[in-house]
Structure 1
Amino acid sequence: MNNPTTTNLAVTAVVLVWLLSRQLAERPLRERSPIGLVLLVIGAVETGAYVTSSPLSWRDGALVVASLAVGVVLAAVRAFTVRLSVRGGQVMRQGTVLTAALWIVGLGQHFLIDTAVTAQLGAVTVLFYFGVVVLAQQLVLVRRAAVAGLSGR
């Protein structure tokens, strides 16, 4: 696995499987997502290193931003496919098959930018993408729970 593209795709696959397993399991809803922040920071460092060595055109940057915007919209939609309940005084969350499908659609649209931008930009920015969309979904889930009057406190 000396090829950076192969390594990025392997990391992407591992992170996606891990995220999907967490999304589909019933778990407590947290106010904050440390996972989202970690992915965002690691992704920002990777993206920054790539951009330093391979500057992006304005078009490349715009397409990455567009992909992130689509990802945030899909994250908001995906948040409404997650079941919320209260168990033992704690708000619980559990994704559905539709949640998983929307994760795959979102990742697919992000990798589509590779067809129109600097080589492997989708793969390089994928952890940043994951961080942004995890945080967006989390914000919508927390807001949904608040609006529904669910409280774990």
Structure 2
Amino acid sequence: MDNASLANLAVSAVVLVWLLVRQLTERPLKEKSRIGLILVVVGAVETLSYLRHHPLSGHDAAMLLVSLLIGVGLAAVRAFTVRLSGRGGQVMRQGTWLTGLLWIVSIGQHFLIDATVSAGLGSVSVLLYFGVVLLAQQQVLTARTRGGVLAH
């Protein structure tokens, strides 16, 4: 494994731990996720930079898309494991142990694509993956609050 791959894995681990802590800590639910957008932009830049030097085959593109689609599906499921409650006119959110487990499963399935695609594509695209699935989870959580689903 080269230094760039190790650096990507280290950054991915830090982001995953940070996301898990934020997911499992009670905090206000916001309609929009700036961090999700930031991760998508940074991840897209990293992925495109990688693709300038490593041509993307049809198989690689398909597997990356499959991983993103599975990730979005898991994000939708994960959003239903998050407890929502009202406090002082504000919607609060807090993930459960199942939320954390689904995050780990989600990132694990994304890294499995490395076994079937150009070396390094999974680790290079992980920030893009985090951003996409975080935004998908946020959309489902926001939809749940509009549907009036709050714990009492």
TM over 0.5: yes
**Residue correspondences, number:** 149
- Paired letter, 1:46: E
CA drift of 1:149 comes to: 6.1
1:63-112, Cα deviation, whole Å (9 max, x unpaired): 00000000000000000000000011100000000000000000000000
> Contact conserved, 2:85 with 2:93, CA < 8 A, in 1?
yes
- Paired letter, 1:83: R
- Paired letter, 1:68: L
Q: TM-score, normalised by structure 2?
A: 0.96
Partner Cα distance (1:149, 1:36) in 2: 23
Q: Secondary structure at the match of 1:91?
A: strand
Unaligned runs of 5+ in 2: none
Identity score, percent: 65
Q: Tell me the equivalent position of 1:84.
A: 84
Partner Cα distance (2:92, 2:146) in 1: 13
Unaligned runs of 5+ in 1: none
**Larger mean Cα displacement after TM superposition, 2-11 or 122-131:** 2-11
CA drift of 1:52 comes to: 1.1
Match runs of 1:114-125 below 5 Å: 114-125=114-125
1:16-74, Cα deviation, whole Å (9 max, x unpaired): 00000000000100000000000000000000101111111000000000000000000
Q: Tell me the equivalent position of 1:107.
A: 107
Q: Tell me the equivalent position of 1:136.
A: 136
Match runs of 1:33-72 below 5 Å: 33-72=33-72
Q: TM-score, normalised by structure 1?
A: 0.95
RMSD of Structure 2 on Structure 1 (CA): 1.0
CA drift of 1:120 comes to: 1.1
Which portions of structure 1, spanning 4 or more consecutive aligned residues, are displaced by more than 4 angstroms?
none
